[in-house]
Structure 1
Amino acid sequence: MDKIVLNGCRFYGYHGAFEEEQKLGQIFVIDLELMVDLQKASQTDKLEDTVHYGLVFEAVQKQAEQKKYILIERLAGAICDDLFDEFPAIQAITIRISKENPPINGHYQSVGIELERSR
């Protein structure tokens, strides 16, 4: 299956299990792989024959910045639900969400989750 990829999308949100995360917020980095049949778009060169990744970004941004969840697992699930509802051409989604600065004592680049969902 062909893929549309959005890498390193950064959003400021208020998701987290700790009260500080919900009050202060933090940056969430979201990567998406959208499995879509891109054969027609590769032949026609028409936007309507693909999934508009600008609109995908806006849908993800709405969940990440306007909603609040305790778990990033739930944020990822809500994003998948929205994308399946809004874009019928998407057959499957792999989503990764990372927190670069969670309230965990230690040295690391980031922590996060990955979900794979399909219709």
Structure 2
Amino acid sequence: MAKPFGDRIILRGLKFLGIHGVNEDEKLFAQDFTVDIDAWLNMEKAAGTDNLNDTVSYSNMYRLVKEVVEGKHFDLLESLAESIAITIFSKFPLISDVRVRIGKPKVAAKYNADYVGVEIFRTSRVSLSS
């Protein structure tokens, strides 16, 4: 599957507290998560009109990602990432593709790493049927 190129909204290093993981201690206490988002959409109209209504607000996208990460518990980061992607597509129909990267910094300390995590890439089902 070829990854898109072109216009995209980029959110890097978003930090949230969430309760996600398979171990019992991960289900009891909130821990730090980092999230990076790349969201592809055509920004040509917004560039010409200089109007926020012709694009996607990164502030709104941040709030949406925060709701997902700090909301429902997921055992797997894969499921959390998928939920973020699905929610982005449902709330922002201008977005055709999204990459979601999630890191768990505290778990990574065991491995002497900045974080461990997952990254997914999804294409909107709406854009596939167009």
TM bracket, shorter-chain basis = over 0.9
Matching residue of 1:80: 85
- TM-fit CA distance, 1:104: 6.9
| Residue 103 of structure 1, CA deviation | 7.4
Q: Which runs of 5+ in 1 are unaligned?
A: none
Provide the aligned C-alpha RMSD in A. 1.2
Q: TM-score by structure 1 length? A: 0.95
1:117 aligns with 2:129: no
Work out the number of aligned pairs and report it. Answer: 119
Cα distance in 2 between the residues matched to 1:109 and 1:81: 27
Where do 1:52-71 residues align within 5 Å? 52-71=57-76
Q: Which amino acid aligns with 2:55?
A: T
Q: Alpha-carbon deviations, 1:18-77, whole Å to 9, x = none?
A: 111111121100000000100011111000011011111111111100110000110000
Identity %: 34
Structure 2, unpaired ranges of 5+: 1-5, 125-130
2:42 to 31, 37, 60: 37
1:56-99 deviation line (CA, Å, top 9, x unaligned): 11111111001100001100000111110010000000110000
Q: Does 1:50 align with 2:51?
A: no
